[in-house]
A = this chain, B = another copy of it.
Amino acid sequence: MKKVGIVGASGYTGEELARIIVRHPEVELTVATSRQFAGRKLGEVFPNLRGLVDISLENIGPDEIIDRAELIFTAVPHQTAMGIVPKFLAAGRKVVDLSADFRIGDAAVYEEWYQAHSAPEYLAQAVYGLPELYREKIRQTSLVANPGCYPTSIILGIAPLLKAGLIDAATIIADSKSGTSGAGRAAQVGSLFCEVSDGFRAYKVGEHRHTPEIEQELSLLAAQPVTISFTPHLLPISRGILSTVYASLRDGVDTAQVAAVYEDFYRDEKFVRLWPAGTYPATQYVRGSNFCDIGFKVDPRTGRIVILSAIDNLIKGAAGQAIQNMNLLCGFAEDQGLAVVPLFP
């Protein structure tokens, strides 16, 4: 049993990591940190874990974490991650970082959207942790930059089309809708039940920090700079992201061609499910699983394609993908601990 640790285990992503690790046959959770809940049992802070995990949350520093874990998940806010990840790496630990700190290869771009970067020298070795694009590189690194939730849904949805050159990369619009767990477990008025329930709204229109991450990956796929419109919205659901992505098709591209490109691109992927043309995925059909479900519609009236891409934001959009990356880093079967059937209804 490999020993793994979670830094920042009192948020929803940390909890979700613990939830998966509990049933993962190859790893053992040996340390979980939290400043706010130090001293409390994980199963008290998240009562769904009651009786299933015996660990208590601790407020300890990197050195002690290094002593007790071989692989470390950093589920902390950006800026915090860049302060500790280098220590873990220097001590020979493998790291799956769930923050944004190592996702963007160009420090200048990072600093434009976030803040100053204190460890830019690690950007080169960080691999963007989307296994469907970077499986081999992930296997060979020590630092995986686990993708953002929105980027995962958007990039997986559009990658085959960009790669195959079927769309005009200048016309991409991503209209995304996320469940409220994406806002985390912080106590803030905007995340209260009464503020979110029976409602719907957009936020950070054209300004969300996931934008440069999406553009970086789309640019690599398109082999040209790509700028997109990205609008996140808040759904009155706990889990799930649905991204509706629009782009103009190259002349003459039809449904069959698009379907073939998707089939080809995702042929051997265990966690991508393609929907037949004219049928569409839904967040409730991937709930609780590591799947990314993708459907599309070619619209001859407008010459555009509309792509629908659904994930569970806490799993394929965060903790599940992190476990998938861990499996690759450690040489486990890629779906170990993740072979879960979505929970519906």
A residues near B (Cβ < 8 Å) are 12, 15, 19, 22-23, 46-52, 173, 175, 177, 180-181, 185, 187-189, 191-203, 205-206, 227-229, 231, 233, 235-240, 242, 244, 246, 273, 275, 280-289, 293, 297, 299, 301-302, 304, 306, 308, 310, 314, 339-345
Report Cα–Cα, A195/B46, bound state, in Å.
Answer: 10
B49, A341: Cβ atoms closer than 8 Å: yes
B48, A299: Cβ atoms closer than 8 Å: no
A200, B306: Cβ atoms closer than 8 Å: no
Given A180-B193, A197-B197, A342-B48, do A203 and B280 touch, yes or no (CB 8 Å)? yes
Q: List, in ascending order, chain B residues with CB within 8 A of A310's CB.
A: 201
Given A175-B175, A233-B177, A345-B194, do A283 and B185 touch, yes or no (CB 8 Å)? no
CB closest residue in chain B, given A196: B193
Tell me the smallest distance from the CB of A36 to a CB of chain B, in Å: 10
Q: List, in ascending order, chain B residues with CB within 8 A of A345's CB.
A: 12, 181, 194-195, 197, 238-239, 314
Q: List, in ascending order, chain B residues with CB within 8 A of A275's CB.
A: 50
B340, A23: Cβ atoms closer than 8 Å: yes
Given A299-B229, A341-B19, do A187 and B189 touch, yes or no (CB 8 Å)? yes
Of B48, B192, B233, B308, which contacts A205 at CB under 8 A? B308
CB closest residue in chain B, given A306: B205
A280, B236: Cβ atoms closer than 8 Å: no
Given A48-B285, A341-B23, A341-B48, do A197 and B229 touch, yes or no (CB 8 Å)? no
A344, B193: Cβ atoms closer than 8 Å: no
Q: List, in ascending order, chain B residues with CB within 8 A of A288's CB.
A: 288, 343
Q: List, in ascending order, chain B residues with CB within 8 A of A282's CB.
A: 47, 199-201
Residue from A185, A205, A281, A304 having most chain B Cβ neighbours under 10 A: A205
Report Cα–Cα, A12/B284, bound state, in Å.
Answer: 14
Report Cα–Cα, A269/B12, bound state, in Å.
Answer: 29
Residue from A23, A180, A189, A195 having most chain B Cβ neighbours under 10 A: A195
A198, B287: Cβ atoms closer than 8 Å: yes
A246, B233: Cβ atoms closer than 8 Å: no
Given A187-B189, A201-B280, do A48 and B297 touch, yes or no (CB 8 Å)? no
Tell me the smallest distance from the CB of A169 to a CB of chain B, in Å: 12
Q: List, in ascending order, chain B residues with CB within 8 A of A50's CB.
A: 273, 275, 285, 293
Q: List, in ascending order, chain B residues with CB within 8 A of A193's CB.
A: 180, 191-193, 195-197, 236, 238
B229, A233: Cβ atoms closer than 8 Å: no
